[in-house]
Amino acid sequence: MPSFDTVLEPNLVELRNAVEQSNKEIGTRFDFKGSSAHIESVESGKDRSLQLLGDSDFQIGQVKDILLAKLTKRGVDVRFLDFSAKIEKMGGDKVRQTVPVKQGIDSDTAKKIQQLIKQSKMKVQAAIQGDSVRITGGKRDDLQAAIALLRKEVSDVPLAFNNFRD
């Protein structure tokens, strides 16, 4: 039976390159001279996050703008980053913001995808498998219709479709 997996995984190489380019630009810009502004990539097991560091809230905003520009230029969807965390004060005049990188479909989104497939009355089934959702169906055309439906309806996360099998 034909099937594919719906996943949520960023291009980590391009993400790292965007962070390095952002740090390079921060180091050469005049308005960041003498400041401690930079971006750190933090990995702990499967969890990844970026730490935006600076001297003020305004500077963190500028670092964020530079990072978003570099990510867009490199073709990395900015919806992989979650900027909802508050800016926290560190020792001295320093501030930081931790930005988690989304990887893997969380259970709420997986259930939403499963419900969408079920309600569409298509001849496909959705099964949650860890941090991905496997969609199986009788015909390739049904699977392509399911992909089109998911792209249209689930716009808050950048879904990718892989392991397409006949």
Q: Which residues pair with 125 in a beta bridge?
A: 136
Q: CA–CA distance from 59 to each of 21, 26, 53, 56, 144 (Å)?
A: 17, 10, 8, 5, 45
* pTM for the model: 0.82
Q: Write out pLDDT tens, residues 114-148.
A: 889 888 888 888 888 888 899 998 888 888 889 89
How much of the chain exceeds pLDDT 70, in percent?
A: 100
